[in-house]
Amino acid sequence: MISFENWKEGFLVTVAGQRLLWHSAKRPAVFVHRAGEMRSAWRSAGTCLPTMASGRSALFRFSGGLVMREELRDARSVAAFADYSSAYSTAIFSLYFSCLDKEIDSVRLRFHDMPKAHWNGLGPREQHLARGTIALPLGARSAAFAMDGRFILCSSSGERKLRFSEAEMLFDLDLPAEVHFGYARTPAEACRLWRYSFGSLDSFFENPDESYRGAHSGKSQTLIAAEARAHSVVIPQEAAGLLGSLSFSGAGPEDYQQLNMAVAQAVREGSIWKYANLMLCQPDIALPAQFRREIGNAFISLGDILPARLKNRYAKIRAGLEKYWEFCRMRWTEDGIPALLHPSLLYPQDVALESRDDLLMAGADMVFAPNLKEKGELASLVLPEGEWVHFWTSRIYPSGRVTVHAPAGAPALFYRAESEYSWLFDSVRQVASRL
């Protein structure tokens, strides 16, 4: 899984067959910055002397004063990771950086990457794809997931800048710092590895309402990023992209709930029905309590202005789907698959889905297009592979682009024809047709 080679007064670390970190005196990949100097004044960390700390850990002492510790942990060492068939192909490679010289305040790391790698997340952001340079605010824990089954998590005492380019990643991190690489076969499998390694949801699922109140009193880590961008102002039209990026960021339920609340507070009169449609399609665990069974006064800035018929329809549909919402919750806690997610997480090979930031999935069996940026009641979307049933008409559609009527109370919502909950969806459709 991992190999280490001494290389021209440096070293080469290879993980899962990929050259990850290749540092030498003439071609450095590890740099340090000294306090008081220009931010661009990076210098090589120098030569290093590696020593084995254990069978799965090594220590690197650089001549420039930096200390790097590497550690490999496979999924078999995670007791809760019960699927041992996949545990043999999953692992976490971690790097820990510190320095006894207080004048050295940050480290720059140049990692090799897979050609044409597609990284996503580091949200909440308006798009799920991670491109160019992304700065993460202090205190925000946000990961990036690749379509090939890898993930990255960086933590730092201060600023973090992550730059993604062709076959290379450049990270600037204030010391002390950590970088964790997760390796799995698919994004869905990576979610499971993340869930049992970094994203424990146990405390939340034991008492979701209490967890939400606690998270609401102190802001969630991923919402810090949204607030830092625009002083807590969320652009409602970007809600689908923001929510989709969270599914690639290792976010927890409280992150989705607080983001949904921020969207609701930012909505302005005239388009409220579109955001009611957005809430209608989301699993309970992704929504604040006041959205789960009624819409009421949830849109705080607007007050109670939705017609009574739409509010009643909303309540009946959401209550009718309770069993499916519970299935989404259970899959999140057991498999790490977010209850609300971007379709590419489950369909990483579908190129047509990759560029879309206007699509979301509620669990594995429902896909919908909130249609927040377009005027009118027509919604266009791309359906993943397989056959999909239009929730409101029961018409079956193949994968690919479709356009449907999506008025208030009937968003562009589809479910998998092979879903074990088809009977439930059809039953709710029949009830909705009479409302």
What superfamily would CATH give domain 202-432?
Answer: Golgi alpha-mannosidase II (2.60.40.1180)
3-state secondary structure the chain: CEEEEECCCCEEEEECCEEEEEECCCCCCEEEEECCCCCCCCEECCCEEEEEEECCEEEEEECCCEEEEEEEEEHHHCCCCCCHHHHCCCEEEEEEEEECCCCEEEEEEEEECCCCCCEEECCCCCCCECCEEEEECCCCCCCEEECCCEEEEEEECCCEEEEEECCEEEEEEECCEEEEEEECCCHHHHHHHHHHHCCCCHHHHHCHHHHHHHHHHCCCHHHHHHHHHHCCCCCHHHHHHHHHHHHCCCCCHHHHHHHHHHHHHHCCCCCHHHHHHHHHCCCHHHCCHHHHCCCCCCCCCCCCCCCHHHHHHHHHHHHHCHHHHHHHHHHHHHHCCCCEECHHHCCCCCHHHHCCCCCEEECCCEEEECCCCCCCCEEEEEECCCCEEECCCCCEECCEEEEEECCCCCCEEEEECCCCCHHHHHHHHHHHCCC
In the block, residue with structure tokens 């969207």: 263
Q: Which of 407, 391, 257, 245 has its CA nearest to residue 324?
A: 391
The rounded distance, in Å, linking the Cα atoms of 269 and 258 is 21
Question: Is residue 75 within 8 Å of 86, Cβ to Cβ?
Answer: yes
Cα angle at 379 between 309 and 272, to 5 degrees? 40
- Amino acid making up residue 307: P
The rounded distance, in Å, linking the Cα atoms of 381 and 397 is 12
pLDDT of residue 107: 98
Half-sphere exposure of 226 (CA within 13 A, CB side): 32
In the block, residue with structure tokens 């979701």: 208
The rounded distance, in Å, linking the Cα atoms of 159 and 294 is 41
pLDDT of residue 297: 63
pLDDT of residue 78: 53
Query: Residue 432: which residues within 8 A CB-CB, separation 6 or more?
Result: 313, 316, 317, 320, 392, 409, 410
Q: What is the pLDDT along the chain (435 residues), one digit of tens a residue?
A: 778 787 667 889 999 888 999 999 889 999 999 999 998 899 999 998 888 877 678 899 999 999 999 999 876 665 455 454 555 568 999 999 999 898 999 999 999 999 889 999 998 999 999 999 999 988 888 999 999 999 999 999 998 999 999 999 999 999 999 999 999 999 999 999 999 998 655 555 555 554 434 333 444 555 555 444 443 468 899 999 999 999 999 999 999 999 999 998 888 766 788 899 999 999 999 999 999 998 866 565 555 567 888 889 999 999 999 999 999 999 999 999 999 999 999 999 999 999 899 999 999 999 999 989 878 899 999 999 999 999 999 999 999 999 999 998 999 999 999 999 999 999 999 999 987
pLDDT of residue 353: 95
- Amino acid making up residue 229: R
* CATH 2.60.40.1180-classified regions of the chain: 202-432
* C-beta atoms surrounding 112 within 10 Å: 17
